[in-house]
Structure 1
Amino acid sequence: MTRNVAIVADRISWEERRLIEAAPELGLHVEWVNDESLCLGAPGAPSVQDFDALLVRSRSYTRGGLVATLAEAAGIPVLNSARAINACENKAVLRSVLSSAEIPVPDFRLVLSRRDFEKALDELGVPVVLKPIFGGMGKRVTLIRHTDTAQSVYDYVEDLGHAFEQACLVEPYLSGGSSVRCLVVGRDIVAAAEFASAGADWRSNAALGNRSSTLAYDPDVVKIVDAVVSELGAGIYGVDLFRTDDGYVVNEVNHAPAFRGVASVTGADIPTAVGSFVQELLS
């Protein structure tokens, strides 16, 4: 029996196209549903009743969490779970969740005001990284190397229009220009790559077109990713790690990860892995 699965997203990108193309051979019918058209509400609302599962890939963290929460209330299996999405969408919440589970994360300070920002600089020293609580793809992530420019940088944060945009983390600069991205499907790492900053841009992020290479098997990476999945539940994640002198730390966990960069460098068939996991979930 063919299972009907909705990819819930605000647009179709490379990843969504590959998932749709791979679906028929796995006994799935996958179609895109715009996250602006679901009109979810009470558990009996009809918008998702024709689907056996939802694969939530909204770029908007707010939309993804809301859709997952209401779809679960309607009895529809959701990947990832509402709990996982709500943890991953907020960098401060995620770090609190992981720290409580004794999973290592970078030292950080929550910054909600200039007073917070000044105190964070005093406690952590420079260089530090200033990053928004909400967001991805390396956007608005700023490296502050010198205290004499820090206040001017924060001026831009204060000029943002909404409090949720102004909420930031300040953390020590740890990566040295590289990071490890592990693509998890179910409970397993199906691909892992190291991304290094390229050219004048210090940020290491696949979305920025940085240099990349396949990461060899590393038991320390497996151990820390296993711990993340044990805490968040089986699902589809992009787990980003930094190396430190004390071992790996979890920088971020993306609940709707882009995987073109990891797939291109490793050759992993990620769409088939995702489809197989969905079938396993529904069996």
Structure 2
Amino acid sequence: MERTVAIVADRVGWEERRLIDAAAGLGLSVEWVNDESLALGDQESASLGGYAAVLVRSRSYTRGGLIATVAEAARIPTLNTVSAIQACENKLTLRAQLRAAGVPVPDFRLVLSRRDFEKALAELPPPVVLKPVFGGMGKRVTLLRDADSAHSVYDYVEDLGHGFEQASLIEPYLAGGSSLRCFVVGRELVAIAEFHSAGTDWRSNAALGNRNRAVDLDPEVQKIVDGVLDVLGEGIFGIDLFATPDGYVVNEVNHAPAFRAVASATGVDIATAIGRYVREEIG
């Protein structure tokens, strides 16, 4: 299995099927490995030890980094790297690293308690967005339009969430209902799509099925993408940007990005681009 690549995920979705199909024409063999049945930890990481590389596409915002940590420690080539996956899994870590590097990100406040929440609202008045530090696909991201409803929402955060789930960010609501998804393979920006809210949801997350269209490359966008890659290193990323009066800011970076909507909007064969990159990485 020296040229067999493992796609580590909880299931085979649309993207994984396209990656498996594209690999055949590139001289690669790709196998799905269920991320729920690895039991990693032995020195050679036996569950993954026979593969030429591991492509981590776990949808969980905890499994990916944990699996990559053990695989990389066993010297199994891992895409993306542990450091990149762990930064993307943690919105606070990502924001802090990007801001320190001069990459534009939204203003934010870390909320770990009711007191944090009250102070954050005083410094960033509603409307604001409350989002979990750990999470993805737009889940548990809440628009707080006024202070009264904001405190009611936070009651649920306190009562229903564990400490891990309660860690949140408050950031200004950037009105407009659209975002750019920049899809990167290696260090190449291979596709850009703009996502618009479909009108039934204020969020423009691609996982919610909103409208999308291809857009041309903007030098400002390329500069921001390059800045993100300088921080995370090359890899396979979905970089989401919001437009503001002062220019684009990085909302988040997905380390296991879906690409069905971007491929549909742009016509780019993203699966083949990823396959070529993996082939180059394993030599």
TM-score range (shorter-chain normalised) is over 0.9
Over 3 Å counting, the alpha-carbon distance change for 1:66 and 1:2 in structure 2 is closer
Matches within 5 A, 1:142-157: 142-157=142-157
CA shift, 1:161, in A, is 3.4
Q: Could you report, residue by residue, the CA deviation over 1:7-26 in whole angstroms, capped at 9, with x for unpaired residues?
A: 00111110001000110111
Does the CA-based 8 Å contact 1:5-1:53 persist in structure 2? yes
Partner of 1:97 in structure 2?
Answer: 97
TM superposition shift of 1:44: 2.1
Equivalent pairs counted in the alignment come to: 283
User: 1:48 maps to which residue?
Assistant: 48
Partner of 2:208: 208
What is the one-letter code of the residue matched to 2:161? G
Residue deviations 1:111-154, cap 9 Å, x none? 11111111101001111000111111111111111122111111
Give me the whole-angstrom Cα distance separating, in 2, the residues matched to 1:155 and 1:31: 44
Identify the residue that residue 18 of structure 2 maps to in structure 1.
18
Q: CA deviation at 1:37?
A: 1.7
What is the TM-score with the length of structure 2 in the denominator? 0.97
Query: Following TM superposition, by how much is the alpha carbon of 1:43 offset from its aligned partner in structure 2, in angstroms?
Result: 2.6
CA shift, 1:200, in A, is 2.5
- Bigger shift: 170-179 or 21-30? 170-179
Regions of 4+ moved over 6 Å: none
The percentage of counterpart residues that share the same residue type is 70
Q: Which amino acid aligns with 1:219?
A: P
C-alpha root-mean-square deviation of aligned residues, in Å? 1.2
Partner of 1:32: 32
- Check the 8 A contact 1:185/1:273 in 2, yes or no: yes
In structure 2, how many angstroms separate the alpha carbons of the residues matched to 1:94 and 1:274?
23
Give the conservation status (yes or no) of the 8 Å contact 1:175–1:242: no
Q: Secondary structure at the match of 1:38?
A: coil
TM alignment of 1:182-197, pairs within 5 A = 182-197=182-197
Equivalence map 1:1-283=2 (5 Å): 3-283=3-283
Q: Deviations over 1:206-239 (max 9, x none)?
A: 1111111111111110110011012101100000
Deviation larger for 24-33 or 41-50: 41-50
Structure 1 residue 198, shift from structure 2 partner: 1.2
2:61–2:136 contact (8 Å) kept in structure 1: no
- Secondary structure at 2:160 match in 1: coil
Partner Cα separation in structure 1 for residue 28 and residue 159 of structure 2: 47
Which SS does the other structure have where 1:176 is aligned?
A: coil
Deviation at 1:42, TM superposition (A): 3.3
Please report how far the alpha carbon of residue 95 of structure 1 lies from its aligned counterpart in structure 2 after TM superposition. 0.4
Contact preservation (8 Å) 1:43, 1:75 = no
Distance, in Å, in 1 between the alignment partners of 2:17 and 2:111 is: 38
**TM-score of the two chains, using structure 1 as the length reference:** 0.97
Q: CA deviation at 1:270?
A: 0.3
1:189 aligned partner, one-letter code? L
Verify the 8 A CA contact 1:180 1:195 in the aligned structure 2.
yes
Q: Distance in 1 between matches of 2:62 and 2:82?
A: 11
Q: Is the 8 A contact 1:5 1:28 kept in 2?
A: yes
Find the residue that maps to 2:62 and give its secondary structure: helix
Contact kept? 1:2, 1:29, Cα under 8 Å: no
Offset, 1:2: 7.2
Contact 2:45–2:71 (Cα < 8 Å) also in 1: no
**Secondary structure in 2 aligned to 1:61?**
coil
Question: Any unmatched runs of 5+ in structure 1?
Answer: none
| Runs of at least 5 residues in structure 2 that lack an aligned partner in the other structure | none
2:45·2:70 contact (CA, 8 Å) conserved in 1?
Answer: no
Matched position secondary structure for 2:190: strand
2:244 maps to amino acid = T
**CA offset at residue 38 of structure 1?**
1.7
Separation (CA, whole Å) in 1 of partners of 2:28 and 2:136 = 30
2-structure distance, mates of 1:95, 1:8: 26
Partners of 1:199 and 1:101 in 2: CA distance: 35
